[in-house]
Amino acid sequence: MLNGHKERSAPIKRAKRVTISDVSDALGLTKGTVSRALNGYPDISDSTRNRVKRVSEKMGYQPLSHAQAIKTGRTRSLGLVLQFGDHDSHRPFLAEFLSGISHGASRENWTVTVATADSDGDTLNTVLRLLNERKADGFILPRTMTDDPRVHLLRDAAAPFVLYGRTQDATDCAWFDILGEEAMRQAVLRLVKQGHKRIAFVNGGSEYYYSVLRLQGMLQGLKEAGIAPDPDLIATDAVRPEDGAAATRKMLRLTNPPTAFVFAVDMAALGLYRVAADLGLVVGRDLSVIAYDGVPEGAFATPPLTTFSVDSRQAGERLAALLIRRVRGEPVQDLRETAKATLVERGSDGPPTLTSNQLARAVSAHSKLSEYPKGGTK
Amino acid sequence: MLNGHKERSAPIKRAKRVTISDVSDALGLTKGTVSRALNGYPDISDSTRNRVKRVSEKMGYQPLSHAQAIKTGRTRSLGLVLQFGDHDSHRPFLAEFLSGISHGASRENWTVTVATADSDGDTLNTVLRLLNERKADGFILPRTMTDDPRVHLLRDAAAPFVLYGRTQDATDCAWFDILGEEAMRQAVLRLVKQGHKRIAFVNGGSEYYYSVLRLQGMLQGLKEAGIAPDPDLIATDAVRPEDGAAATRKMLRLTNPPTAFVFAVDMAALGLYRVAADLGLVVGRDLSVIAYDGVPEGAFATPPLTTFSVDSRQAGERLAALLIRRVRGEPVQDLRETAKATLVERGSDGPPTLTSNQLARAVSAHSKLSEYPKGGTK
DNA sequence: GTTTGCTCCGAAACCGGTTTCGGCAACTGT
DNA sequence: ACAGTTGCCGAAACCGGTTTCGGAGCAAAC
A277-299: per-residue pLDDT in tens? Answer: 999 999 999 999 999 999 888 98
When CB atoms are compared, the residue of A64, A84, A132 closest to B62 is A132
B-chain residue closest to A89, CA distance: B95
pLDDT at position A4 over 60: no
Q: For residues A3-19, give the mean pLDDT.
A: 55
Contact list, B56 vs chain A (CB under 8 Å): 2
pLDDT at position A162 over 90: yes
> B138 and B104 in one domain?
yes
As ranges, strand C nucleotides with an atom below 7 A of a protein CB are 7-22
CB contact under 8 Å between A375 and B303, yes or no, is: yes
Q: What pLDDT score was predicted for residue B373? A: 46
Lowest mean pLDDT among A112-126, A141-155, B189-203, B291-305: B291-305
Q: What percentage of chain A exceeds 70 in pLDDT?
A: 91
Crossing angle of helices A241-252 and A266-279, rounded to 10°: 50
Q: Would an 8 Å CB–CB cutoff place B84 in contact with chain A?
A: yes
> A223 and A360 in one domain?
yes
pLDDT at position B12 over 70: no
d(CA B56, CA A263): 53
When CB atoms are compared, the residue of A67, A105, A300 closest to B300 is A300
> A209 and A92 in one domain?
no
d(CA A5, CA A173): 42
CA distances from A176 to A89, A98, A113, A263, B176 (A): 19, 15, 20, 22, 38
pLDDT at position A89 over 70: no
Q: What pLDDT score was predicted for residue A296? A: 83
Interface mutation vs chain B, best among A1, A5, A9, most B CBs within 10 Å = A9
pLDDT at position B119 over 70: yes
Domain assignment present for residue A68? The answer is no
pLDDT at position A5 over 70: no
Interface mutation vs chain B, best among A49, A62, A64, most B CBs within 10 Å = A64
Chain B (181-220) residues lying within 8 Å, Cβ to Cβ, of chain A: none
When CB atoms are compared, the residue of A106, A158, A375 closest to B304 is A375
Q: What pLDDT score was predicted for residue B375? A: 41
Q: Is strand D within 7 Å of residue B156 (CB)?
A: no
Q: Would an 8 Å CB–CB cutoff place A376 in contact with chain B?
A: yes
pLDDT in tens, B74-92: 999 999 999 986 556 557 7
CB contact under 8 Å between A95 and B99, yes or no, is: no
Q: What pLDDT score was predicted for residue B90? A: 57
Q: What percentage of chain B exceeds 70 in pLDDT?
A: 91
CA distances from B63 to B23, B25, B38, B46 (A): 11, 16, 10, 21
Distance in Å from D5's C1' to B24's CA comes to 29
Does residue B11 have a cis peptide bond before it, meaning omega lies within 30 degrees of 0? no
Distance in Å from D1's C1' to B4's CA comes to 73
Q: What pLDDT score was predicted for residue B29? A: 95
According to DSSP, the residues that pair with A145 across neighbouring strands are A208
Chain A (123-142) residues lying within 8 Å, Cβ to Cβ, of chain B: 126, 129-135
> B31 and B128 in one domain?
no
Q: For residues B181-196, give the mean pLDDT.
A: 98
Average pLDDT along chain A: 91
Lowest mean pLDDT among A8-17, B142-151, B160-169, B175-184: A8-17
With beta carbons less than 8 A apart as the criterion, state whether A246 and A252 touch. Answer: no
Q: Side by side, which strands form the sheet with A77-83? A: A336-339, A174-178, A161-164, A138-142, A77-83, A111-117, B111-117, B77-83, B138-142, B161-164, B174-178, B336-339
Chain A (38-57) residues lying within 8 Å, Cβ to Cβ, of chain B: 38-40, 53, 56-57
> B328 and B195 in one domain?
no
Lowest mean pLDDT among A138-142, B118-122, B317-321: B118-122
Contacts of strand C, CB cut-off 7 Å? A 8, 28-33, 36, 43-49, 70-71; B 17, 19-21, 31-32, 35-36, 38-39, 41, 43, 63-64, 67-68, 70-72
Domain assignment present for residue A31? The answer is no
CB contact under 8 Å between B65 and A133, yes or no, is: yes
When CB atoms are compared, the residue of B1, B76, B329 closest to A109 is B1
Lowest mean pLDDT among A4-8, A116-120, A367-371: A4-8
What is the CATH number for B57? 1.10.260.40
**Residues 46-65 of B near strand D (Cβ < 7 Å)?**
46-49
d(CA A304, CA A348): 6
Q: What pLDDT score was predicted for residue A90? A: 57
When CB atoms are compared, the residue of B7, B75, B103 closest to A39 is B7
Domain assignment present for residue A54? The answer is no
Q: Would an 8 Å CB–CB cutoff place B63 in contact with chain A?
A: yes
Distance in Å from D3's C1' to B120's CA comes to 67
Domain assignment present for residue A172? The answer is yes
pLDDT confidence band for A369 (50 / 70 / 90)? very low
> B318 and B353 in one domain?
no
Distance in Å from D2's C1' to B35's CA comes to 36
pLDDT at position B137 over 50: yes
pLDDT confidence band for B11 (50 / 70 / 90)? very low
Q: Which nucleotide is nearest to A41 (CA to C1')?
A: D19
pLDDT in tens, A224-277: 999 999 999 999 999 999 999 999 999 999 999 999 999 999 999 999 999 999
pLDDT at position A9 over 50: no
Q: Would an 8 Å CB–CB cutoff place B1 in contact with chain A?
A: yes
A-chain residue closest to B109, CA distance: A3
Angle at B184 between CA B183 and CA B185, to 5 degrees: 90
Q: Would an 8 Å CB–CB cutoff place A270 in contact with chain B?
A: yes
Q: Is strand D within 7 Å of residue B18 (CB)?
A: no
SS3 A234: strand
SS3 B159: coil
Task: Please tell me what DSSP assigns to residue A232.
Answer: G
Contacts of B193 (CB under 8 A, 6+ apart): none
Distance in Å from D15's C1' to B146's CA comes to 40
Q: Would an 8 Å CB–CB cutoff place B72 in contact with chain A?
A: yes
Domain of residue A356, residue span: 180-310+343-365
When CB atoms are compared, the residue of B39, B53, B126 closest to A6 is B39
Q: Is strand D within 7 Å of residue A21 (CB)?
A: yes
Domain assignment present for residue A13? The answer is no
- Of B30, B63, B96, the last residue of a domain is B63
Dihedral sign computed on CA atoms, order B191, B197, B200, B201: positive
Q: Is strand D within 7 Å of residue A355 (CB)?
A: no
Q: For residues B42-52, give the mean pLDDT.
A: 95
Domain assignment present for residue A276? The answer is yes
d(CA B97, CA B315): 7
pLDDT confidence band for A52 (50 / 70 / 90)? very high
What is the CATH number for A355? 3.40.50.2300
pLDDT confidence band for A1 (50 / 70 / 90)? very low
Torsion of CA B98, B103, B109, B112, to 10 degrees: 0
pLDDT at position A196 over 90: yes
d(CA B350, CA B353): 9
CB contact under 8 Å between B73 and A17, yes or no, is: no
> B358 and B248 in one domain?
yes
> A256 and A127 in one domain?
no
Domain assignment present for residue B355? The answer is yes
Domain assignment present for residue B378? The answer is no
Q: Is strand D within 7 Å of residue A13 (CB)?
A: no
> A354 and A213 in one domain?
yes
Which residue minimizes Cα–C1' distance to C13? A32
Q: In chain B, how many domains are there?
A: 3
When CB atoms are compared, the residue of A14, A157, A302 closest to B131 is A14
> A157 and A272 in one domain?
no
Between A93 and B27, the more confident residue is: B27
> A335 and A189 in one domain?
no
Tell how strand B260-263 and strand B288-293 pair up: parallel
> B155 and B127 in one domain?
yes
CB contact under 8 Å between B12 and A73, yes or no, is: yes
Q: Which nucleotide is nearest to B33 (CA to C1')?
A: D9
Average pLDDT along chain B: 91
